[in-house]
Structures are given as C-alpha cells and as structure tokens.
Chain A
Amino acid sequence: MPAGDPAPPPAQPAGLVEHFFRHETGRLHGALIRLLGVHNITLAEDVAQEAMLRALRHWSMGGVPANPSAWITRVAMNLAKDALRHQRMAGIKEPDVITHLEITAPSPAVAVEGSQAIRDDALRLLFICCHPSIAPDAQVVLALKVLCGFSTGEIARAFLSSEAAIEKQLTRTKQRIQQAGLAYDIPEGEDLAPRLDGVLAALYLLFNEGYKASAGDRLLREELCEEAVRLASLLLTHPAGRTPRTHALLALMLLTAARFPARLDEHGDLLRLDDQDRSKWNQPLIERGLLQLVEAARGHELSEYHLQAGIAAIHCTAPDAASTDWVRILRHYDELNRLKPSPIVALNRAVAVAKVHGPPAALDAIAAIPDRDRLESHYLLHAVVGELQWRQKNHRAAAESFRRALRLAQVGPEQLYLTRMLERSLGEGGQPQAE
C-alpha cells in the first residue's frame, strides 16, 4: 500500500470475499498441482501468480467481473496449457488439461467447480505440505505459502524473519518435495493415521505460531490462527480427517482463540489469565469449541489435544479466576505429562501445582523437571519462577528472575509484561543494593 493513504478500506466489491486473493491463490495451487504434478509446485505457483497479476491489470481498467474466481481460473488454465506446450513435459498429457479447461471454462460453473473437488485438492495439498520428509517448521511455512496464499513478505513479518530467509527455506523445501516424488493423494489405509498425525501436528504448530504474542505483526499472527482453524475444519469435512483427535485439536484452537480479545489491555500489554476481563471472551467461539470437545469424546481415543482442549475448556467455563477448578487442571497436566512428556508441559504443570499446593511445591516441581536445562534459554521458565518467588515475598530473587526472562523474551507484549513485573519486584525492595 502506498504510504500516507488515509482512506479506510472501503466495502468489498461484490464477489470479492474477504481474503479473496489469498485463498484464491491457494485454491488455484490445489487445482494446478493436480494438473501439473507435485514436482511442478513452483510452476504452479508461477502460473497462479501470473493469473493474479493479469487479473489486477484487467480489473484496473474495467472493475471486478461478476465471477472473479471463474475469470482467474480461466486465465490460469490457459497459462498452464501454454506452459505445458512450451515445456512439452513428459508424463502429462495435454488432453487432460484441455478436458479440464472445458469443464471449468464455461464461466459460472468454475467457481463452484464442485466444492468437493476444491476441498479434495486442498486436502491433497495439505498432506503434501505436512509430509514427514519435510521438517515441521518448514511444513508450516510451505502450507502458509502454497495452501493459504500468504506472500513470503507476510510470512517473514509473521515470523519476524527476513524475506530472503523464508524464500531460501521454501526453495529447499520444494527441492526436497521434488526429490521425494510425492503422489498427490489423500493417504489411505495404514498410511493415513501417521500422515494425519503429521498434519495435526503442523496445524497445532501453525496455530501456536499465531498464538504466541512474542513477536511479529499481531494482526497477521491472528490470521495464522484463523488459517489453522480453517484447515482443521476442512479436515473434518472429509472422512479421512474426521477423527476424535482432529475434533479435539479444533476444540483446543477455538477455546484458545476465544480468549484473544481479552489478552491485551488498552495499552497493548499482555494480561495474565487471572487479570483478563472474561466478559470479552468470545462466547460463540467457546460454544463451538465445547461442541467440538463433545465430538472429540466419541470413541476411546485420548490424545494430547484432548487434554489440552480439556484444560482450555476448564478455563473458558470458569465464571472467574478464583473459581477455576485447578485440581482438575492439574489432573489433566499429570495425564499430559505421562502421554507426551516435555519440559514445557512440566513447566505449565508447575503453574497448576502452585495453584493447588502453593509456590514452594511448584518450585520443587520445576527443580525436578528432567530436561530443565532445555528451558533455561526460554523466558517462560524465568517468568514463572519469578512469579513464584514474588509470591513467596522473595522480591530480590524475583527481580533477578524477571530480569533474566526479559533478556530472553523477544519484542512485543511479553517484554512489556515482564518489565512491569520487574518494576513491581523492584518496588517491593528487590532493588539490588550498592554494596
């Protein structure tokens, strides 16, 4: 956007839904990769991109057509056909393209090119993006780029990284996909469960990236959460993805996202759960989340997502902080620590221990975390310890812990929060004395 343009965004033109260009890009990739093959992801991206740019050129002089999606699809399919002609690629028969063109070209039919076909292409692409041959972080970046239609600039802003670094990672990921020779399928049979777990883990990571308030553009990060919710919901529309743990993951996302509006105070400072105005929690999202949790309870499966969603549900249904059922939360954490032990889970469990058994027991629990050293570089460890020390009126130690946490936290609300905590500790006599 040109700098200094004060005009507020006007109403969307008819037919141009919110995030049109983003999701249209993802949709085109889905269809183009089906046509061109998984090894041609980059070509599919180039074709989709060119179709978008032609749309922009055209629409700058004539406005948006009645069915923009159909317009872009027609241009993209023509470009794909040209690309195939030029490259004369082996293994892809042009008649396939032309048949596809004939199916999709007679305009209005395209946008509704069977919503099922669009959904299946999106799912195929999701399974490709989350393939076990790709590292988890790279999966998230690839999904954001090809499936969600984010630009590398947007991804870089969301992750507080550079565009060049994101570009480089994407190139490597696509090379890996090319070498792996992946099929454009929704996995079946015994392949399905482990592949689905990979997809769920990637969506969890995507959501978490958005949820972390630690860095990057806040609006964009909330959009990462929206995308994670959208893709989890998409999984649930297909029998392959409709499992209790998918429901549980979606429940977790909805119940967590419901608290977004209350996370920051009017200065943009981070608020702890205890201090949040619960009337700001998004009640419809909570209801949707609880409904998903009910769905998740069908069957005997108990996943980490069930337990985390269960914890989120206890928070969401407590009328105020004081009446939170910490005993039940602690039981969930105990279970989670057995099912999926990790230093972060253990640290969160310690917070529940403090609520149930008091700060000394919690500090003991933290001291007993097996991989504690892995947490030393994480600001959260020092923030939690600082809080517990403060509650023990050990203000000097608390100040030191908050200072360490502050050094480790990245920019943004977390730093502000920690600064406030540090000042509070110093105000209570935690000031280091000149000796």
Chain B
Amino acid sequence: METNATPVPFMLFFRNTGPENYQHLSPEERQQVVTRWNDWFEGLVAQGKAIEGQPLEMETRIVSGPGGARVTDGPFPEAKEAIAGYVTLMVSGVEEATAIAQRHPGMAYGMKIEVRQMTPDCHLGVNTRARGRSKQEVATD
C-alpha cells in the first residue's frame, strides 16, 4: 500500500469491548488501564490524527427484509463481533492506522479493532479528502 503525503481518512471499528472483559481487574488495575488508554486518545488528538470518535450504546436493533419487515433486537450470540464504537483518523496510510490500532491498550483485554480506509467521496456531499487537505494546509501555513 502506498504511503500518501496527504493524510487519508481511516476508521477504526472497536469490537469485543464488553464490560465483562474488565471484570477480573482490581480497582487499581482499572485505574492503570484507563490511564493508559486515555494517553492513547490524548496522544492522537494532540497530533491531530484522531478526528472524532464515539462509543455506541449496547442496545442493538437490526432492520432487514423487504420493506424493513424483519426487526430484531440484540443482544446476538455473536455480540462480541458487534461494532461497539469507532474513531476516525487522518493518517498517512493503512500502515500507520494499523500501528495506531495495535497500540490501543484494550488489546490486552480482548478488544478487536477493524481498520478501514474511508472512500474520499461521501454521497452525503461531504468530501472527506478535502477535509483532510484543509487540515494539512492549516498545519503547513
């Protein structure tokens, strides 16, 4: 994969972040892990690499079938595979995005992160690549 001079948008999807992953930790261990992942976020924000992000609520509803006739509620047997949250990054390419995901301290507790590049054009009319460019222009000016 080529490395872009211009930052490109990536999305990290968090999976398997369930509360039960942290059940075995003592209060002091919890404090340590929260401290570490806060540093992960703060570092990315400070470098301008994390653009936005949000955990998602656990309640899930899936709509399918013609006319949306089938509506099912979670949790599903494969709940661990459900998307639990996301972060949008502006990075040089998939290598950097992957390296960032690898450094998330949640890895040690079963968390999985899917790394996906976003397409430059959005059908809603927002051009993510343009957003990235303007960011860079600000930085180099």
Contact = CB atoms under 8 A, between A and B. Distances in A.
Interface of A: 1-2, 5, 7, 9-13, 16, 19-22, 25, 50, 52-54, 56-64, 149-151, 153-154
Contact of A62 (B20, B28, B41): B41
Interface stretch (B1-9, B30-38, B129-137): B30-38
Given A21-B31, A151-B27, A59 B38 contact: yes
A53 B32 CA distance: 14
Given A21-B27, A22-B28, A53-B23, A61 B34 contact: no
Given A20-B31, A60-B17, A62-B41, A154 B26 contact: yes
B55 A61 contact: yes
B29 A64 contact: no
A91 B28 CA distance: 36
B81 interface: no
Contact of B27 (A61, A64, A149): A149
B22 A56 contact: yes
A62 B55 contact: yes
A63 B41 contact: yes
Interface residues of B, number: 35
B17 to A, nearest CB: 5
A20 B28 CA distance: 8
A70 to B, nearest CB: 16
Contacts of A154: 26-28
Given A1-B32, A61-B54, A50 B19 contact: yes
Among B34, B35, B37, find the residue whose CB has the most chain A CB atoms closer than 10 A: B34
Contact of B53 (A25, A56, A61, A64): A61
B106 A21 contact: no
Contacts of B21: 56-57
B14 A61 contact: yes
Interface of B: 14, 17-23, 26-39, 41-42, 53-55, 84-87, 106, 108-109, 111
Contact of A150 (B27, B39, B55, B106): B27
A62 B34 contact: no
A123 B80 CA distance: 41
B19 A10 contact: no
B26 A60 contact: no
Contacts of A52: 30
20 contacts: A7-B36, A10-B39, A13-B34, A16-B31, A19-B27, A19-B31, A21-B31, A53-B23, A56-B34, A57-B17, A57-B19, A57-B84, A60-B14, A60-B106, A60-B111, A61-B55, A62-B85, A64-B38, A150-B26, A150-B27
A106 B55 CA distance: 21
- The 5 A-B residue pairs whose C-beta atoms are closest, nearest first, are A53-B19, A61-B85, A21-B27, A13-B38, A63-B41
Contacts of B42: 13, 63
Contacts of A150: 26-27
A7 B108 CA distance: 13
Given A54-B19, A63-B42, 9 more contacts: A21-B27, A52-B30, A56-B19, A56-B30, A61-B14, A61-B54, A61-B84, A64-B34, A150-B27
Given A10-B39, A61-B84, A64-B38, A53 B31 contact: no
A418 B27 CA distance: 35
A66 to B, nearest CB: 12
Among A20, A25, A61, A63, find the residue whose CB has the most chain B CB atoms closer than 10 A: A61
Contact of B36 (A10, A25, A151): A10
A9 B105 CA distance: 12
Nearest to A3: B108
Contacts of A19: 27-28, 31
A57 B36 contact: no
B59 to A, nearest CB: 13
Contacts of A60: 14, 17, 37, 55, 106, 109, 111
Contacts of B87: 61
Among B19, B36, B84, find the residue whose CB has the most chain A CB atoms closer than 10 A: B19
Contacts of A9: 32, 35
B35 A16 contact: yes
B55 A57 contact: yes
Given A21-B27, A64-B34, A57 B22 contact: yes
Contacts of A25: 27
Contacts of B36: 7, 10
B85 to A, nearest CB: 3
Contacts of A1: 29, 32-33
A12 to B, nearest CB: 6
A316 B46 CA distance: 49
Nearest to A49: B23
Contact of B26 (A54, A58, A63, A153): A153
Contact of A22 (B27, B33, B39, B55): B27
A68 to B, nearest CB: 9
Contacts of B26: 150-151, 153-154
A59 B41 CA distance: 10
